[in-house]
Structure 1
Amino acid sequence: MTVFLVIIVLALLAVTGWQMSKIFQLSKGPGAESAEIANDNDNRQQAKLMLWFMIFLYVGMAYSFWHWSKLYLPQAASEHGNEVDTLMFISIGLIMVVQVITQALLHWFAYKYQGKKGNRALFFADNDKLEFIWTIIPVITLAGLIIYGLFTWSDIMNISEDDDPIVIEIYAKQFSWQARYAGEDNTLGEANVRFIEGVNTVGLNVNDTYADDDKITTELHLPVGKQVLFKFRSQDVLHSAYFPHFRAQMNVVPGMVTQFAFTPDVTTAEMRDSEYMVDKVKTINEIRKENSKALMAEGEAPLDSYEFDYFLLCNKICGDAHYNMQMKIVVESEEEYNQWLSEQDEFATVMESQE
């Protein structure tokens, strides 16, 4: 009750102060300047502040580009990835040019045309020439970006049978991924969530002969230079398969199959040896080393040394363990890939071992 009374008293004091200021203003008479109306001095101050803010804006922007550029992803690790990066940097370049010009004009005009007593603003209802210019230029620019993007998208989504891509299913569930390789026939067997039981974790139809040679793994291996057709299924909720280093992403939708394809062109070993990744790994390990000192002082185990690997991530917030939904990707030579794949158990063999 005391707190409530204190709040009421403070509110009444605030209202009283406001009313007294109004009375004081009225007592000055009709010829006095009102503090609520900007005068020439106020306008000069605000105009100068606009110029200083413009300088602050551009200095901050330049610093951000310089300081945070190290957090850019490294070179794309897929054939289409370079086109995606080119489109992104063209878009950023156009946005920056427009932003620099428009913000400079905005702040300079606020300074140059600051309010002055006796000045009257020039008004005109319309200008067909100006409206045509600022309409047609964005239309042409956006059309070019969209057409370029559509060609890149078409390369990813339109898969030719002549390319004979490797077919791999990516199966999502809270909170893990599984990969299913199509086997020797390069044809995935029938699958449905209704068939999930025991070791049949992705729901293959045991009566479908195409499923017999399918191979289910928790690690994704890809041969460099070979096109891979990914087919995505979800067991429970909406997920998003995100391959950041390959510049690829696809929603994984319950009840339907989505797909895209890409050709990896940088092996895991090559990416580890790149200048960007060597510097990044060195920096991370230096941080881990410092953090390990504090952990060891408290009697805890030190952090392991970091080594780069590609990962498949979920880019939808799909639940409380979403952050941990990732699968290691290994890009290797075709010989290494074939060797690894030959060591994986076929679905028929796994089912027979359970009988």
Structure 2
Amino acid sequence: MTAFLIVIVIALLGVTFWQISKVFELSKPANVSDTQIADDKDNNTQGKILLAFMVFLYALMIWSFWSLSKFYLPEASAEHGADYDRLMFISIGIIMFVQVITQALLHWFGYKYRGRKGQRALFYADNDKLEFIWTIIPVVVLAGLILYGLFSWSEIMNPEETEDTLVVEIYAYQFDWRARYSGDDKTLGKANVRFIEGVNQLGVDESDDYAMDDIIVNELHLPVNRPVLFKFRSQDVLHSAYFPHFRAQMNVVPGMVTEFGFTPTTTSKEIRNTDYMVDKVKNINEIRKTREDLSEDERLYEFDYYLLCNKICGVSHYNMQMKIVVETDEEFQDWIDNQQTFGELINN
């Protein structure tokens, strides 16, 4: 009932303002033109407004780049990341170059060739030369960008698997991640969601001998400068494994295995000591100091890599994340040697 009354009140206010506008029209001086056809004065006014809007648009664009550039990610922490970032900035540069020119021409021509009494427009029904120019240039530029991007895409999606490649399964479910490493046999055991029962949360096949030395953890550790091949599985709905600092993302699809690979190049300790991250962490901690609802430990922030879900997969999607630790090969080996195997897990 309340909603209905609100709708009635809004409708009545609309009618009231409409009637008031009619009163203002009737009260205009006799020498004021009320024709609906634009005259030279109207065209001059609109032309100047168009130029003013162009200045406002460019000022807003410059301000946005200046003020929002602080939200850029730091340099990529994966081997392919430099190519990824370079391609993105080349694309942005081309788009901005074209946008600045076309917007300027659009607004300037709108002002220069504004309507004047007695002036007739000159137009071409078609112009093969112009059409060829504005068709072939985008085709060449886009073809170049696509070919450039295909090399990076191929490097991520079709990594060369060698004896040194670390194979890790990333398992997604509402609303968390698990990672599974192969043991000494360097082969992941078979798995299927139908095998999920009790402590076997990933559905690893207990009859598969290759599975007994697999290691299941809820914190992802990666050795620096060593290629990693990720295999993704989902237990329930569509998720998306997003590694922002490594410039990689892959959909995790129920019923199938998706994969990609990259080589981490910056350890967690190294990125914490970069100028970018030192300033960012300092700023965050300054903000947290003012939060009275946080404990002393919560107010002290330290950067960590995280694996995030980039698909809206349910009510706790925002909190679906797993910490990533990039470390030296020796540190990684010490960590992996102290983890419980799947065989030990099911036999305890």
TM-score by length of 2: 0.92
- CA distance, structure 2, for counterparts of residue 278 and residue 14 of structure 1: 56
- After superposing the two structures, state which structure 1 stretch, 93-102 or 150-159, moved more: 150-159
Partner of 1:309: 304
Aligned ranges for residues 39-188 of structure 1 at < 5 Å? Answer: 39-162=39-162, 164-188=164-188
Misfit runs of 4+, over 3 Å: 1-25, 161-164, 300-303
Residue 15 of structure 1 deviates from its aligned partner by 7.6
Check the 8 A contact 2:173/2:237 in 1, yes or no. yes
Shift of 1:291: 2.1
Give the 3 Å change call, closer, same or farther, for CA 21–66 of structure 1 in structure 2: closer
Alignment pair present for 1:327 and 2:322: yes
Once the 2 structures are TM-superposed, how far is the Cα of residue 200 of structure 1 from its aligned partner? 0.5
Q: Does the 8 A contact of 2:164 with 2:226 survive in 1? A: no
CA distance in 2, matches of 1:206, 1:331: 30
Q: Deviations over 1:19-70 (max 9, x none)?
A: 8999999xx9xxx954311111111111111111111111111111111111
Cα distance in structure 2, aligned partners of 1:45 and 1:10: 31
Secondary structure, counterpart of 2:222 in structure 1: strand
Report % sequence identity.
Answer: 62
Q: What does the per-residue CA deviation read over 1:144-164, in whole Å, with 9 as the maximum and x for residues that have no partner? A: 000111111111111223364
Q: Aligned equivalents of 2:107 and 2:127: distance in 1?
A: 22
- State which drifts further: 171-180 or 50-59: 50-59
Contact 2:306/2:322 (<8 A) preserved: yes
1:40–1:115: 8 Å Cα contact kept in structure 2? yes
Cross-structure match for 2:341: 346
Distance 1:120 1:247, change over 3 A: same
Moved more, 307-316 or 164-173: 164-173
Contact 2:285–2:301 (8 Å) recurs in 1: yes
| Residue correspondences, number | 342
Query: What's the secondary structure of 1:161's corresponding residue?
Result: coil
Cα pair 2:230 2:259 within 8 Å, conserved: yes
Partner of 2:121, secondary structure, is coil
Residues of 2 paired with 1:191 and 1:106: CA distance?
59
Stretch deviating more after TM superposition (278-287 or 58-67): 58-67
2:265 aligns to what? 265
Give the gaps of 5 or more residues in structure 2: none
Q: Distance in 2 between matches of 1:54 and 1:250?
A: 40
Q: Report which stretch shifted further, 159-168 or 77-86.
A: 159-168
Q: Secondary structure of the residue that 1:162 maps to in structure 2?
A: coil
Q: What is the CA distance between 1:93 and its match in structure 2?
A: 0.3
Report the Cα offset of residue 335 of structure 1.
0.1
2:306 partner SS: strand
Q: Are the counterparts in 2 of residues 234 and 253 from structure 1 also a CA contact under 8 Å? A: yes
Cα distance in structure 1, aligned partners of 2:90 and 2:214? 42
CA distance in structure 2 between the partners assigned to 1:289 and 1:82 by the alignment: 35
Q: What is the identity, as a one-letter code, of the residue corresponding to 1:254?
A: P
Contact conserved, 1:170 with 1:231, CA < 8 A, in 2?
Answer: yes
Deviation at 1:304, TM superposition (A): 2.6
Secondary structure in 2 aligned to 1:156? Answer: helix
Distance 2:235 2:9 in 1: 57
Q: Is the 8 A contact 1:47 1:110 kept in 2?
A: yes
Counterparts in 2 of 1:345 and 1:141: CA distance versus 1, 3 Å: same
Q: TM-score, normalised by structure 1?
A: 0.90
Alpha-carbon distance, 1:92 to partner: 0.3
